[in-house]
Structure 1
Amino acid sequence: MANGKNSEPDAGLKSLDHYRNKLPPWRYWPRQKLLPLIRYETPYLAWFQGKIRTPALDSYFAFTANLGTHTFFMVFLPFLFWCGHASLGRGMVHLLASGVFFSGFIKDLLCLPRPLSPPLQRITMSGSAALEYGFPSTHSTNAVSVAVYALSLLNSSESTLSPQANIFLQSITYIYVISIVLGRLYCGMHGFFDVTIGSLLGALLAYLQHLFGPLIDEYVLAATGKGVTLVILVILALVRIHPEPVDDCPCFDDSVAFAGVMVGAQVAYWHLAKSTIEDAATFEFTGVGPVRTALRLVIGVLLLFTWRAIMKPFLLRVLPPIFRGLEKLGLILPRRFFTNASQYTTVPSQLKDHEVLPGFSEIPSIITTIRHPRRRAISVGPQSEADAYETLAYREKRRRESLSTGNGASPVRVTDVGGGHSASISEREHPKLSRKQSKLHEYENMMGTGASSMATSVDVGSQEATVPFPAFDPGIGDDEQDVFSQIKQPRVRYDVEVVTKLVVYSGIAWIVMEGAPLLFDQIGLAAK
C-alpha cells in the first residue's frame, strides 16, 4: 500500500504486530505506553458527544473547525502584510510554520491513532483531516498558539487600541480558541489527550515567539548572505529529519509546505531590509483608501493562485528527468510512500492533493461550503490505514483477553471502564439475562467493531437529525481485507513533489512579503 498500488495490508503482518514490526523500539515503546490512554478515554468521548449533540452544534463545530486549519491561515495571513501589519504577520507565520511542523513531527514519530469510530462519529467538512494520526491535535496547536500570541499583544503596554476594542478582540479570541479545541472533541476527531498536548504545544510556541521572535527578526535583518543561507539550511535539515510514518500520513506534506513558507519569508524579509525598495511594503489606509485597499487584496490573492497554477505543473514536468539523473548518481534520499522518478514516466497534471493553499478549481467548492455552513459529513467506521489497524488491533486485543480467561468458545467479556462491571456477548444477545448496561458500557462494546457496513459518510441537511449509532454485531467485519477495502486509499505520491512544494510555497511567501507590494507600488496602489 506504500505507493497506492496495492490495497491490501502488508503480507504476513497481523494488525496487533503492525507497528511493532515497523517502528524501532525507541519509537514503539512510548507509543504502546500512550495507546491505552487513548483507548480508555474513547467511551467517555462518545458519552460526551452523545450527551450534547444537536444538528445546530454539528454545523457550528464543523464550520468553525475550518478556522483552525493552516489552509485558512494561508488564505488570510497575506491580508496582514498587505494592510500594514507586517510584524504581526511575520509572528503568525513563525507560529503556524512551527506549529504545523512540530505537531506533524510528533504525529509521524509516534503514529498514535485517533479515538475509535465507532463509538465516536466523526463530523467534518474536510475529508483529509482523518487521514492523519491523532496525537497531538494540530488544530489545537494552531488555535492556541495564535490566541496566546494575540492575547499577549493585546495585553502589552504597546497596544494602542481603545479599552472597548481591546475587550472586544480579547472576547473574540477566547470564543475562537474554545470553539476550535472543544470542537475537536465534539466532532470526534480527537481525544482529551490529543487536544491537551496540542494546546500545551501551541502555548509553548507562542511563549517562545513572544520571547525570541524579535531576536530572530534582528538576526535576519543583520545577517549577510551566508547568514541567511545558514537559516535556509537549518530549515531544510529539519525537513530531512522529519520521521518516516508507518502508514501513509500526509503530515509530512504540510511540514514541507510550511518549511517552504519559512524559507521564502526569511529571504523576503532580509532582502527588503537590504534594498531600497522597503518603502513599497509600507501601508497607510488613509493614504490608500478603501477602493485601492480592496484592489490590493484582490490582485494579491490572484497573484498567489496564478503562481501556484503555473509553477506547480511546470516543476512537475521538468523535475523528473533531473531526479532520474541524480538517482543514477546515488544522490537521491528516498522517502517511504514517495515513488522514485525512475519508476514513472510522467506526473499527472491534476493531482488530487491535500494542499495547504487550494487551486483555482477548488474555489467554487470553498464558496459553496461558506454559503452552506450546515453541510457536513458524518462518518462512522475506519477512514484511514491507522484507523483500520487500530480497529483490528483492538478487536484482536479483546479476543486475546477472552482466550486468557477461558477457551475459544467462551463469550467475550468486556469491562465497563466507568464502574468495573462486565458483560459478555451472549448476555448482550439476551438482555433479559443481564442488568441494563450503562451508556459507557455500550460505547465501549462498540470499540473495534468498525467494518464496511459502518464506514459511511453522508451529507446532512439542515433539517436532519444526527446519524444514529450502529448496533453492535460481534461477527461483523471479521475479514481483515474487508476493513482495509473500505478505507480511503492514498494516491500515488512522487519524489519531485517535495521539491515542488518547497519552491511553490517559498514563492508564495516571497510574493506576499515583497513581490505583491512591489507590484502595488508600480500600478499606483501604494500609499503616496
Structure 2
Amino acid sequence: MPELLAYLQDPELVARFQRRCGLFLVEAAHQGRGRTHAPAGTSDTPCGHRPRYEVRNWLLHVLFLLSAGMGHEIFYITCLPCIHWSLDPFLCRRLVNMWTVVMYVGQLMKDVLKLPRPPSPPVVKLEKRVDAEYGLPSTHAMAATAISFTLLLSASSRIQFQFEVGLLIAVTLSSLVCLSRLYTGMHSVLDVISGALISALLVFLTYPYWETFDRFQLTSRMSPIVGLSLPLFLGYAYPDIDHYSTTRGDTITILGAGAGCWVGYWANEQLGETFEPQGPLPAPLPALTAAVLARSAARCLVGASALLAIRQVVKTLSLRVLYSWYNVPKSDAGARRRREIEVPSKFTTYTAVGLVNSILVNRVFVLLGLL
C-alpha cells in the first residue's frame, strides 16, 4: 500500500499525463536577459520566474482550462444560481447544501494533512493563485463529484429525463474536472482520486437524510439561527497554518454563501413564495425554443449582475468598517488576510450574495417580466 500511495503521488506521473495531452515544459533560456520571446504555442514569462510551457494540443488545452474553471468562484456565482433562476430552486438548494459540506471537509483536510502539491519541474503549473495551498484532497474533484451526483439524484424526482443519460453526463463532467487538475499541474493523481472518493462517500452517507434536512431547513424556527451561527462558528474555528494561503478565505466564502442561501430559502418558505415549479412532479423539461433560451439568458445576465454588484458593494463596505474598527491604514492591503478582518468580511459579503440569490433575484424577475 505505501508503494501504491507513493506511486500515485509521484509528480512524474502528472508530468507524463501533461505530455500525453500536449503540454510540455520549456526550460527558460538566456538567464538574466529579462523577458524572452517564447516559441509559437508557449507562454512568455520572465526568465528566473516560472518555467515556460509549450502547448501542442490546443483543443485539449482549452477543454481542460474550461473544465478547471468549473471549480472557481466565477462558476459558483453564475452557473449554480442559474439552476435556481431557470430550472428549480429546490435543486439549487440541494446543490448549495451539499457543496458547502463537501468543500468545508475538503479544505479542512488540506490544512490538517498538509501534503504538498506536485513540484514544478517536472510538472507544468498553469495556475498561480492556489499554489500556496496544500494538495490532498483535490477540492475541484470533490466539488465536481458532489455537484454532478447530487444534481443527478435530486433531479430524478423533479424533472423527467432518462437516468442513464443523466448518469453519463454526471460521470463525464466530474471526470473532466478531475483530469483538468492533472493537466493544470495543481494536483497529484492521489489528490484527485482521494477527492472524488471522499466526495462520493459524503454523498452516500448523507443521502438518506436529505429529506429530513430539507424539512428542518425550511420549516424550523431554529433554522435561520443555526444557518447563520454554525457556518460562522466553523469559519472562526478554521485552523491556522504556518503560512498564508487562500484556503481559509475560500472556505469562508463557501460558508457565507451557504449561510445566505440557507436563510434565504427559509425566508421564501415562510413568505409562501418558493418559485418552485407548479403542478405534478416530475415535470417535463421545457422545450428549448428561441424564446425560452432568450428568457433564460436574460435571467442569468440580470441575476449574475445583481450578485456581482452586491458582492462588490458589501465587500467594500465591510472592509472599510473593519479597517476603521481595527485602526488599520487603508493602504495596508495585506491586513485583509488577518483572521479578524478576513473572516467577518468574507462571511458578510457572501452571506449577502446568498440572500440576494435566494430571495431578491426572483422577485426582480417578476418585476421585469422574466418569469
Identify the residue that residue 172 of structure 1 maps to in structure 2: 169
When normalised by structure 1's length, the TM-score is: 0.56
RCO (CA 8 Å, sep 6+): is it higher in 1 or 2?
A: 1
CA distance in 2, matches of 1:289, 1:188: 40
2:190 corresponds in structure 1 to 193
How far has the Cα of 1:40 moved from its partner? 6.0
1:294 deviates by 3.5
Following the alignment from structure 1 to structure 2, what is the Cα–Cα distance between the partners of residues 43 and 270? 49
Q: Is the 8 A contact 1:108 1:249 kept in 2?
A: no
Gaps of 5+ in 1: 1-32, 323-340, 352-489
Report the counterpart of residue 204 of structure 2 in structure 1: 207
Contact 1:92 1:146 in 2 (8 A): yes
> Displacement of 1:513 after TM fit?
1.0
1: CA distance between counterparts of 2:348 and 2:76?
A: 19
The amino acid of 1:310's aligned partner reads V
Structure 1: how far apart are the matches of 2:319 and 2:248?
18
Matched, 1:149 2:146: no
**Aligned-residue offset at 1:159:** 6.2
Q: Which residue of 2 aligns with 1:378?
A: none
SS, match of residue 213 in structure 1: helix
Which one-letter code corresponds to 2:177 in the other structure?
A: I
Residues 316-368 of structure 1 show CA distances to partners (whole Å, capped at 9, x for unaligned) of 1122333xxxxxxxxxxxxxxxxxx34x32256xx6xxxxxxxxxxxxxxxxx
Match of 2:231 among 209, 232, 235: 235
Q: Aligned partners of 1:508 and 1:59: how far apart in 2?
A: 30
Q: Secondary structure at the match of 2:257?
A: helix
Which residue does the alignment assign to 1:262? 258
C-alpha separation between the residues in 1 aligned to 2:293 and 2:64? Answer: 33
1:209 deviation in Å? Answer: 4.3
Change (3 A) 1:139 1:292: closer
Counterpart mapping for 1:84-233 below 5 A:
84-122=87-125, 124=126, 126-153=127-154, 156=156, 158=157, 160-163=159-162, 166-224=163-221, 226-233=222-229
Structure 2 match to 1:451: none
Relative distance call for 1:180 and 1:295 in structure 2 (3 A) is closer
Structure 1 residue 217, shift from structure 2 partner? 1.4
- Residue correspondence of structure 1 range 210-359 to structure 2 within 5 A: 210-224=207-221, 226-276=222-272, 278=273, 281-282=275-276, 291-322=294-325, 341-342=326-327, 344-346=328-330
Partner of 2:78, secondary structure, is helix
Q: Quick one: which amino acid aligns to residue 210 of structure 1?
A: Y
Point out where structure 2 has 5 or more consecutive residues left out of the alignment: 24-55, 279-285
Change (3 A) 1:206 1:345: same
Matched, 1:64 2:67: yes
- Measure, in 2, the Cα distance between the counterparts of 1:48 and 1:496: 41
Structure 1 residue 67, shift from structure 2 partner: 2.1
Counterpart of 2:348? 503
Give the distance between the partners of 2:11 and 2:297, measured in 1 at CA: 47
> 1:76 matched to which residue of 2?
79
Does the CA contact (< 8 Å) of 2:64 and 2:176 recur in 1? yes
SS of the residue corresponding to residue 190 of structure 1 reads: coil
- Is the CA contact 1:104–1:138 (under 8 Å) kept in the aligned structure 2? yes
Deviation at 1:134, TM superposition (A): 0.7
Judge conservation of contact 1:91–1:209 (CA < 8 Å) in 2: no
8 Å contact kept, 1:82–1:283: no
- Cα distance change on mapping 1:502 and 1:160 into 2, 3 Å: closer
CA distance in 2, matches of 1:525, 1:47: 49
Change beyond 3 A, Cα 1:77–1:347: farther
- Helix, strand or coil at the partner of 2:244: coil
Q: 1:500 to 1:238 in 2, by over 3 A?
A: same
CA contact 2:314–2:352 (8 Å) conserved in 1: no
What does 1:454-493 correspond to in 2, within 5 Å?
493=337
Contact 2:86 2:296 in 1 (8 A): yes
Q: 1:523: Cα distance to partner? A: 3.5
Classify 1:313/1:38 alpha carbon distance in 2 versus 1 (closer, same or farther; 3 Å): farther
Q: Is the 8 A contact 1:69 1:142 kept in 2?
A: no
Letter matched to residue 329 of structure 2: T
Equivalent residue letter for 1:133: Y
The equivalent residue for 1:41 is 10
CA–CA separation in structure 2 for the residues paired with 1:111 and 1:491: 24
Q: Percent identity?
A: 25
Aligned Cα RMSD in Å? 2.9
Supply the distance in 1 between the matched residues of 2:153 and 2:257 (Cα, whole angstroms): 24
* Residues 67-106 of structure 1: per-residue CA shift (max 9 Å, x gap): 2334312221111111141111111111221222111111
For 2:231, give the aligned amino acid.
Answer: I
Task: Write the letter of the residue equivalent to 2:191.
Answer: D
Segment drifting more, 239-248 vs 143-152? 143-152
Once the two structures are TM-superposed, the CA of residue 147 in structure 1 deviates from its matched residue by: 2.4
Distance 1:160 1:269 in 2: 20
Using structure 2 for the length normalisation, give the TM-score: 0.78
Q: Distance in 1 between matches of 2:118 and 2:151?
A: 31
In structure 1, C-alpha distance between the alignment counterparts of 2:240 and 2:337, rounded to whole Å: 14
Contact 2:130 2:245 in 1 (8 A): no
Displacement of 1:491 in angstroms is: 8.5
Report how many residues are paired.
324
Answer yes or no: is the 8 Å Cα contact 1:101–1:254 preserved in 2.
Answer: no
Shift, 1:202, TM fit: 1.2
1:519 aligned onto 2:364 = yes
Q: How far has the Cα of 1:219 moved from its partner? A: 0.6
Report if the CA contact (8 A) 2:95-2:151 is conserved: no
Supply the distance in 1 between the matched residues of 2:177 and 2:9 (Cα, whole angstroms): 23
- Equivalent residue letter for 1:185: L
1:291–1:140 distance in 2 versus 1, CA, 3 Å: closer
Partners of 2:336 and 2:342 within 8 A in 1: no
**Other-structure match for 1:399:** none
When Rg is computed on C-alpha atoms for both structures, the one with the higher figure is 1
